[in-house]
Amino acid sequence: MTLSELHGSGRLAASYPLVRGLLAELDDGELERAGRLLSRLDPDEVLRAHPSTPVVAVAVTGHRTLGPLLAPLTAELARHGMLVRARLSDFDAYVFDLGDPKSALYEARPDLVLCVLDPDTVFDEVPVPWTAEDAERALDAMVARVRDLAVAFGGRTGATLVLNTLPLPRRFTAQLVDHRSRARLGAAWRRANARLLELGDEIPSVIALDLDPLLAEGVPAEDVRLGRYARTGLSPALLARYAREVGHLARHLTGRTKKALVCDLDGTLWGGVLGDDGQEGIELGEGLRGEAFTAFQNVVRQLGSQGVLLAVASKNDPGPVQEALREHPGMALRPDDFVQVTANWRAKPDNLRDLARDLNIGVDSFVFADDSAYECGLVRHTLPEVAVVRLDEEPARHIERLLRDGWFDTRELNAEDRARPARYREEKDRHTFLSSFDSVADYLSELDVRVRLAPVTGAGISRAAQLTLRTNQFHTGMLRCQAPQVSEAASGPATRVLGIHSGDRFGDNGMVGVVFTRRAGDTVHIDNFVLSCRVFSRGIETACLSAVLSDARAAGARAVEAVYRPGPKNSAVRAFYPDHGFTVTGEEDGVLTFRHDLSDPAGIVAPPPHIRFTESLEESR
């Protein structure tokens, strides 16, 4: 079944979950055609059939014509299982759109605002004839204008504003006949682009996309005929690649960032077949192909250093695999780089399911990389939630294929990210420790679980936002928050953001959860309660809820109210509040509201006896 066949039969909306798989192997031209078809699809029709489908509201504004961006944008979000509600602004409307809080852009309440900048954003302000100095003044004015607009936008909305660097086409530099002037223009242009990129550090609501890496791959900056006659600023090919980068960002904002990279070995991390060729015969480290495989391993290791969980799923005997990983001189990856190495002769989908269970994450957190078309097809068919990277017999292309879709892209990297692999290795030690006890109660008693529940400040803002974006199972309110929104809630007079930190005899888990509360009169509202899957089933959620209830009562509140919003994976926490003494007060469209009367302190559930608080909420006030 193809996309065109689904559309022609009127079943495209009803079959929308199939779209991701249908788009997975399309080339750029096919994807463009698919985007044009999908852009005619009514998101509401899809939502009626599949109400849990993530929807991203995107407003597109800029200096020139941007209609050609909508089709690739629709296709890129569909590739990741999302829907887009797009609003396209008028020609050259970005100053009004971002500067006027009463504009239609603000009224649309977008999640993402794409302010697409192009070279004519500058050169339309340059007189004729012009000099390098004229262009430099226009560049400075443009950057200052964009910065002012971004600051104002960030203060008015919780949306993310996406800016981009500007290409410098030769049709402008060549108008300067002396090389010194061309060099001056190039230097000024690069300084302006650097300032645009730095706005992402200065203004929390801003993401700045660097277009230079895309141009370096040979993507044309502009189409001169479309630029002249259709008034486009960037080429359709560049807008399509821009849309791909936005798709990666949207995937992250909807909590769909991948967490683990699972690699095959033979033909993937090294050349040859270990079982046939032996350790001495595999291609790795020496020769042109061997160097290519080592280069690929270095990229995999680089990803692992930034918090991506690395694992192996290979059809091999385990002994030779471990020996090769430990001893082969060309190996960039060693056993300690992986959270798990699985080498056996079982079907790879079965091994992926077991790995997900062992790591306590969903299979939809996996990226699976393999050179075998059969294995890739089997995983894609059996586990459609897994992102499959199909490699081939040319190792020089492995890096490009792995990085093409930015599976692990995140808005900001923090210390918790870098420590993640070590945390999961500690988790394996906990499972081994558990197996030595006859009961879970005895295990928890000896685990020495320590919890700190305290207001989030400073560097913790980023981590708290990340937890709301990446946690899908224990997530009661399903509120995805960016760092500016967390910061606003953390500093509000009636709102609090409480970070949950945990540790035990095996190590410090860092910030593993966050609770958003809001005081209204004599009632405290729990707007969101998020807990990482890494620390499930240890009583931490009960201990923290008990602390919130006790603290609310001590502060004079008469009741605590809470909410549960259904998401695609959080059904397990639907009963969380009723199980802890809350009563249901309402239900609408699956959203449940609860209330806990604080008049009787005995009605507050006690924290589990094996939990030890290292800091109380009263101490942190």
Over 70: is that where the pLDDT of 264 sits?
A: yes
Kindly state the average pLDDT of the residues 80-105.
94
**Interacting residues of 523 by C-beta distance below 8 A, sequence separation 6+:** 557, 558, 559, 560, 561
Q: What pLDDT, on the 0 to 100 scale, is given for residue 445? A: 83
Over 80: is that where the pLDDT of 424 sits?
A: no
Q: What pLDDT, on the 0 to 100 scale, is given for residue 7? A: 85
Q: Which of 100-104, 118-122, 292-296, 481-485 has the lowest mean pLDDT?
A: 481-485
Could you tell me if 304 and 335 are in contact, meaning their C-beta atoms sit under 8 angstroms apart? no
Element (H, E) at 377: helix 373-382
How far separated are the first and last CA of the chain, in Å rounded? 60
Q: What pLDDT, on the 0 to 100 scale, is given for residue 616? A: 63
Q: What pLDDT, on the 0 to 100 scale, is given for residue 442? A: 80
The three-class DSSP label of residue 615 is strand
Angle at 200 between CA 240 and CA 60, to 5 degrees: 40
The DSSP letter of residue 324 is H
Could you tell me if 529 and 476 are in contact, meaning their C-beta atoms sit under 8 angstroms apart? yes
Return d(Cα 546, Cα 539) in angstroms, integer.
Answer: 11
- Hey, how many other C-beta atoms are within 10 angstroms of the C-beta on 408? 21
DSSP lists the bridge partners of residue 189 as none
Could you tell me if 533 and 473 are in contact, meaning their C-beta atoms sit under 8 angstroms apart? yes
Over 60: is that where the pLDDT of 196 sits?
A: yes
Burial status of residue 519 (CB atoms within 10 A of its CB: 0-12, 13-18, 19 or more): middle
Q: What is the mean pLDDT of the chain?
A: 91
Return d(Cα 511, Cα 534) in angstroms, integer.
Answer: 11
Element (H, E) at 519: strand 507-520
**Interacting residues of 48 by C-beta distance below 8 A, sequence separation 6+:** 13
- Whether a cis peptide bond, with omega within 30° of 0, leads into 129 is yes
Handedness of CA 267, 270, 274, 278 (dihedral sign): positive
260-403 has the same fold as 54-253: yes
Q: What pLDDT, on the 0 to 100 scale, is given for residue 618? A: 60
The DSSP letter of residue 576 is T
Please give the full DSSP string across 85-146, using - where no structure is assigned.
EEEEPPTT-HHHHHH-TTSHHHHT--SEEEEE--THHHHTTS-SS--HHHHHHHHHHHHHHH
Q: Which of 108-112, 431-435, 447-451 has the lowest mean pLDDT?
A: 431-435
Domain ranges of the chain: 1-52, 54-253, 260-403, 430-620
* 54-253: CATH superfamily: SGNH hydrolase (3.40.50.1110)
Longest Cα–Cα distance in the chain: 85
Span 288-341, pLDDT tens digits: 999 999 999 999 999 999 999 999 999 999 999 999 999 999 999 999 999 999
Q: What pLDDT, on the 0 to 100 scale, is given for residue 494? A: 92
Could you tell me if 64 and 236 are in contact, meaning their C-beta atoms sit under 8 angstroms apart? no
Tell me the pLDDT band of 395, cut-offs 50, 70 and 90: very high
Q: What pLDDT, on the 0 to 100 scale, is given for residue 620? A: 53
Over 80: is that where the pLDDT of 430 sits?
A: no
Tell me the pLDDT band of 613, cut-offs 50, 70 and 90: confident
Q: Buried b vs exposed e over 462-486: b needs ≥16 C-beta within 10 Å?
A: bbbbbbbbbbbbbbbbbebbbbbbb
Q: What pLDDT, on the 0 to 100 scale, is given for residue 441? A: 80
Q: What pLDDT, on the 0 to 100 scale, is given for residue 446? A: 85
Q: What pLDDT, on the 0 to 100 scale, is given for residue 244? A: 95
Tell me the pLDDT band of 621, cut-offs 50, 70 and 90: low
Classified by CATH at the fold level, domain 260-403 comes out as Rossmann fold (3.40.50)
The DSSP letter of residue 390 is E
Over 90: is that where the pLDDT of 420 sits?
A: no
**Interacting residues of 400 by C-beta distance below 8 A, sequence separation 6+:** none
Q: What pLDDT, on the 0 to 100 scale, is given for residue 451? A: 92
- Higher per-residue confidence, 145 vs 418: 145
- The residue whose two tokens read 């993310």 is 160
Return d(Cα 239, Cα 248) in angstroms, integer.
Answer: 14
Span 581-597, pLDDT tens digits: 999 999 998 899 999 99
Kindly state the average pLDDT of the residues 187-191.
97
Q: What pLDDT, on the 0 to 100 scale, is given for residue 549? A: 94
Handedness of CA 536, 541, 544, 547 (dihedral sign): negative
Q: What pLDDT, on the 0 to 100 scale, is given for residue 74? A: 96
Could you tell me if 565 and 593 are in contact, meaning their C-beta atoms sit under 8 angstroms apart? no
Nearest-10 Cα torsion for 612, 614, 617, 621 = 170
Span 18-69, pLDDT tens digits: 998 889 888 888 898 999 999 999 999 999 999 889 999 999 999 999 999 9
Domain range 430-620, its CATH number among 3.40.50.620, 3.30.160.100, 2.60.120.10, 3.40.630.30: 3.40.630.30
The DSSP letter of residue 161 is E
